[in-house]
């Protein structure tokens, strides 16, 4: 098990989300890998905590990285948050994001 690719994975996911036209149409540039200080937009997306599980076998090392992507809104109802969450899913499910180290086998 290793956290060696965790930084590169987070950076790649962040870059992928900020470059996704469907998501940015909904939240603009309000996609964060760390919540900034000060006032926040009405709706934003944030990369959150991560858990790494050992997936090594006898032939190679491996790890499963589980990370959270959160959509937060102060708008009434759930429609805005659900639309942004759907756009996050559409952007990430099956995406091939390049990593500076290691190999992504699924997202």
Q: Look at the pTM and tell me if it is higher than 0.85.
A: yes
pLDDT of residue 87: 98
The answer to whether residue 1 scores a pLDDT higher than 70 is no
Domain layout of the chain by residue ranges:
6-92
The residue that leads in pLDDT, 61 or 35, is 35
Q: What are phi and psi of 101, to 5 degrees?
A: -150, 145
Mean pLDDT of 46-54: 90
Report how far apart, in Å, the C-alpha atoms of 107 and of each of 35, 60, 96 are. Answer: 23, 20, 8
Percent of the chain scoring above 70 in pLDDT: 99
User: Do strands 43-54 and 31-32 pair parallel, antiparallel, or not at all (unpaired)?
Assistant: parallel
For residue 33, the number of C-alpha atoms closer than 13 Å in the C-beta half-sphere is: 14
User: Are 99 and 8 contacting, i.e. CB atoms less than 8 angstroms apart?
Assistant: yes
């Amino acid at each position: 098990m290793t956290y060696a690719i965790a930084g590169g994975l987070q950076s790649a996911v962040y870059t992928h989300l900020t470059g996704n036209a469907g998501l940015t149409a909904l939240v603009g540039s309000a996609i964060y890998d760390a919540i900034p200080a000060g006032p926040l937009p009405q709706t934003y997306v944030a990369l959150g905590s991560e858990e790494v599980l050992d997936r090594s076998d006898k032939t190679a090392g491996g790890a499963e990285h589980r990370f959270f992507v959160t959509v937060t809104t102060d708008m009434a109802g759930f429609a805005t948050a659900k639309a942004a969450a759907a756009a996050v899913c559409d952007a990430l499910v099956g995406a091939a994001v390049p990593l500076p180290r290691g190999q992504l086998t699924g997202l």
